[in-house]
Amino acid sequence: IPKIPYKEQDAYSITGWFKSQLRLEADLQKAGRQVLFSDKGGHLVLGLEKNQLVLELNNGSETAEASASDEIAYDTVTGGEVRPAWNHFAIIKDGGAFKVYLNGSEVISMELPDTELSGTLCVGARQVEGGKANYFNGLVDEIHFYSAALEKSSVQDLYEALPLNKGSETNVALN
């Protein structure tokens, strides 16, 4: 995404859906960190490691990292096979405070003042000098940017909205 719409904003939200293509939990455990998206400067990186979202922040002089308290969702399909389901995420920045939601629940809360997005935003990989790395082995869909810090109820509404709730058993077209 060439122009980050909220690069210098004090508050913003980024939401979307993701689904890993790694089918077995053991495959996710071996895969290492996969990046859902990052900015060019590495100031904000959202990744997936061992079934958990990981948020990395860097303000130029300090780096912070936190892992989610909950694991991603799985579905059991016909024949009993277990596969990663569609999962909803939201990153909320309000001043120096960051929150990450997974499927409507807050799973990460951390602070790192003076953290701003820089350069372009890369979906599905980490931007590094000379290219990209830590590719996400899966699908990322419906990324939305908001120029305000969404409230918890708004994040939950986005997760539960139909037809966007990709985890809904009644909405088989999206599974």
pLDDT band at 175 (very low <50, low <70, confident <90, very high): very low
d(CA 88, CA 6): 21
Per-residue pLDDT tens over the stretch 72-124? 888 877 788 777 789 999 999 999 899 999 999 999 999 988 887 777 788 88
| Position 5 pLDDT exceeds 60 | no
pLDDT band at 50 (very low <50, low <70, confident <90, very high): confident
- Across all residues in the chain, what is the average pLDDT? 81
Name the region of 157 (left: φ>0; alpha: ψ -120 to 50; beta: rest): alpha
pLDDT band at 172 (very low <50, low <70, confident <90, very high): very low
Per-residue pLDDT tens over the stretch 7-27? 567 899 999 999 988 766 666
* Between residues 71 and 57, the one the model is more confident about: 57
pLDDT average, residue stretch 28-43: 79
Per-residue model confidence (pLDDT) at position 3: 59
d(CA 45, CA 29): 19
| Position 150 pLDDT exceeds 90 | yes
pLDDT average, residue stretch 31-52: 85
* Residues in contact with 92: Cβ distance below 8 Å, sequence separation at least 6, in sequence order: 13, 98, 99, 100, 101, 149, 150, 155
